[in-house]
Amino acid sequence: MGQTKCETPYGAWKSPLTAEFVSGSSKRLGGAAVDSDGRLVWLEGRPSEAGRGVLMWEGAQSGSFPEEITPPGFNVRTLVHEYGGGAFAVKRDNVVFSNYADQRLYKQSIRGDRTPLPLTPAYENKAVRYADGIFDGRFNRLIVVREDYRQEGVEPVNDIAAVSLNGEANLEPVSLVKGKDFYMFPRLSPDGQMLAWMEWSHPNMPWDRTSIWVGKVSDDGSITNPVCVAGGDEGVVESASEPQWSPKDSICKVKFLLVGDQSVGGKVQSLCPMEAEFTRPAWIFGISSFGFFGDSGDQIVCAYRQRGVSHLATFDLSSGSLSPVKTRFTDIYNLFVHGNEVYFSAGSSTDTLSIVKVCLAEGKAGAGEDTVLWSSLGIDLEPYKPYFSTPRVVEFATKVEGETAFANFYPPANGYFVAPSRERPPLLVRSHGGPTLEASTTLDPAIQYWTSRGWAFADVNYGGSTGYGRAYRERLNGQWGIVDVNDCCSCAEHLAKIGEVDPKRLCIDGRSAGGYTTMATLVFKDTFSAGASLYGVLRMSWKRTHMTVLQSTF
């Protein structure tokens, strides 16, 4: 016989999901890679250590505990573009990482002596920063994106540079590619003879207009004969991204469609035209949405998003067929391949942020079973399941005739409480950051904190969010503070109209760009009774003089 629920007003339910639990339990994930033995290396940020980034190494045996690679006193994090990402690189037994305190690069052995050895000069005030490194065995160097703040009074200089791995810490890295405002994704061909990269300049953002270039790595290590292979047509607006080489040395790229070409300067063609997004806004380094598996060079595994939901699939270049790979995860990103194993960051309404491995059989579409290798909470969630709310997607009309927007709606949920029959719950609306990011359905203790106490929660994907195509994202162009504000209000009003929430108890919060949306909503609209802005930008004049160089013309 089931337990009788206690009748208590919405908002007054008791829950074990305390503020301390929410703020201190979840680790951040800063990327992952594998060593030469196929053992996972990942970067986790620890709330218990003020967010310190620590590299971890998968245990040698199944079920054995992982090892810490990063010694005390070091914090793996880069500040390139301020948002960072791509803070470490792994090759065989070696890892090279950026240290937060001085932004220098250090080399470290995964096995044996793990004493970090500096590779770059020391500069005052973290003036030179590095990210997105790849190993170049031909010249025993690391090719990186560098951001240089040494010249005062002007914007920092971004370039692609080479860092020697010989341990000469005072040796100035050599510039390889320069002249544009921003660079990402330096990628070497398998034979080390060619380098691909992505570049763009103000006033564009990396999801607006970018180009992919390929250059020859000459005998002295310099980059010569650069050729634009995508994004070079001034009459076409495209955001080409994520250049990647196949085992056959053919370069592939992502342009919110998976596309590729057969040779440098050759014709670029769409491989899989469909209404989906095959990459994400490049606010940070280290994004990876697809990879080659097997030995043929014709098999790709990829993650794409449709209407805010991720899908995993394999794609056969020879036949042009896309085949789904079954997985319970609805939020998939930062995918990479080792042999026939694909690793990715993932989450779902029942899974917190995790690292997942799937084994793929070449030529067998859709084959594979997923294994969770790491979880941001790292605890047994079973005792908390009675307190978890399952989201559903809500589509609602916006203030613009004929347009709709979306939100992930979480009704109140608690296995031990029930509200009076005629009462409707208070609502908390969240306006996500970016503002071009998106609300996902990954299990988030910060949301469950509210729903387990009897609140409804709406995580809004207002116009401008990713996951719904370029046209949806571009609704926010020149309309930040208008479209997002209207959509958050429309969402709350819609939920009240259909009887899901109490129209007199509507609240809103948001972080960063979402904090600005929150404050604009409270100032210019009457929909919400209360709100909270977490580190939101409130003065656009401050934004122009204090924001990062990446954001300065956003």
Nearest to 357 by CA among 154, 89, 58, 10: 58
Amino acid identity, residue 52?
A: R
Which residues, 6 or more positions from 413, have their beta carbon under 8 angstroms from its beta carbon? 387, 388, 389, 390, 451, 452
Q: Tokens 């967010």 appear where?
A: 51
Q: Write down which residue in 345, 376, 407 finishes a domain.
A: 376
Q: Write down which residue in 344, 376, 408 finishes a domain.
A: 376
Is the same domain home to 371 and 520?
A: no
Q: What is the chain's Cα-based Rg?
A: 24
pLDDT of 261 reads: 30
Which residues, 6 or more positions from 138, have their beta carbon under 8 angstroms from its beta carbon? 192, 217
Q: Is the dihedral of CA 80, 81, 83, 89 positive or negative?
A: negative
Q: Examine residue 177 and state whether it is found in any structural domain, yes or no.
A: no
Torsion of CA 236, 237, 239, 243, to 10 degrees: 10
pLDDT of 252 reads: 66
pLDDT of 220 reads: 97
Amino acid identity, residue 255?
A: K
Is the same domain home to 494 and 365?
A: no
Nearest to 527 by CA among 510, 512, 508, 543: 508
For the beta sheet containing 251-254, the strands, ordered from the edge strand earlier in sequence to the opposite edge, are 241-245, 251-254, 258-260, 269-270
Per-position b or e across 461-485, b if 16+ CB within 10 A of its CB: bbbbbbbbeeebbbbbeeebbbbbb
Q: How far apart are CA 550 and CA 85, in angstroms?
A: 14
Is the same domain home to 310 and 426?
A: no
Amino acid identity, residue 348?
A: S
Q: How far apart are CA 249 and CA 227, in angstroms?
A: 16
Q: Examine residue 169 and state whether it is found in any structural domain, yes or no.
A: no
Is the same domain home to 368 and 391?
A: no
Is the same domain home to 434 and 400?
A: yes
Which residues, 6 or more positions from 61, have their beta carbon under 8 angstroms from its beta carbon? none
Is the same domain home to 406 and 371?
A: no
Which residue range is the domain that position 431 belongs to? 7-17+382-546
Q: Examine residue 552 and state whether it is found in any structural domain, yes or no.
A: no
Q: Examine residue 398 and state whether it is found in any structural domain, yes or no.
A: yes
CATH code for the domain in which residue 449 is found: 3.40.50.1820
pLDDT of 554 reads: 56
Is the same domain home to 299 and 425?
A: no
Is the same domain home to 370 and 346?
A: yes
pLDDT of 360 reads: 85
pLDDT of 428 reads: 99
Is the same domain home to 452 and 466?
A: yes
Q: Is 64 strand, coil or helix?
A: coil
Phi, psi of 469, deg, nearest 5:
100, 165
Query: For the chain, what is the domain count?
Result: 2
Q: Write down which residue in 333, 350, 376 finishes a domain.
A: 376
Q: What are the tokens at 483?
A: 């479209």
* Residues listed for the chain: 554
Phi, psi of 538, deg, nearest 5:
-110, -20
Is the same domain home to 333 and 452?
A: no
Q: Examine residue 529 and state whether it is found in any structural domain, yes or no.
A: yes
Is the same domain home to 492 and 396?
A: yes
Is the same domain home to 363 and 450?
A: no
Q: Examine residue 46 and state whether it is found in any structural domain, yes or no.
A: no
Q: Examine residue 412 and state whether it is found in any structural domain, yes or no.
A: yes
Per-residue pLDDT of the chain (554 residues; tens, 9 = 90+): 467 899 999 999 999 999 888 876 688 999 999 988 889 999 999 988 999 999 999 987 777 789 999 999 999 999 999 989 999 999 989 999 999 999 999 999 998 889 999 999 999 999 999 999 999 999 999 999 999 999 988 889 999 999 999 988 889 999 999 999 999 999 999 999 999 999 999 888 888 889 999 999 999 999 999 999 888 877 777 888 999 998 876 666 654 333 333 334 445 677 777 888 888 888 899 999 999 987 777 889 999 999 889 999 999 888 889 999 999 999 999 999 998 899 999 999 999 999 999 988 755 545 567 889 999 987 888 999 999 999 999 999 999 999 999 999 999 999 999 999 999 999 999 999 988 889 999 999 999 999 999 999 999 999 999 989 889 999 998 899 999 999 999 999 999 999 999 999 999 999 999 999 999 999 999 999 999 999 888 766 655 555 566 655 55
Q: Examine residue 206 and state whether it is found in any structural domain, yes or no.
A: no
Nearest to 340 by CA among 362, 365, 307, 310: 362
Q: Is the dihedral of CA 156, 157, 159, 163 positive or negative?
A: negative
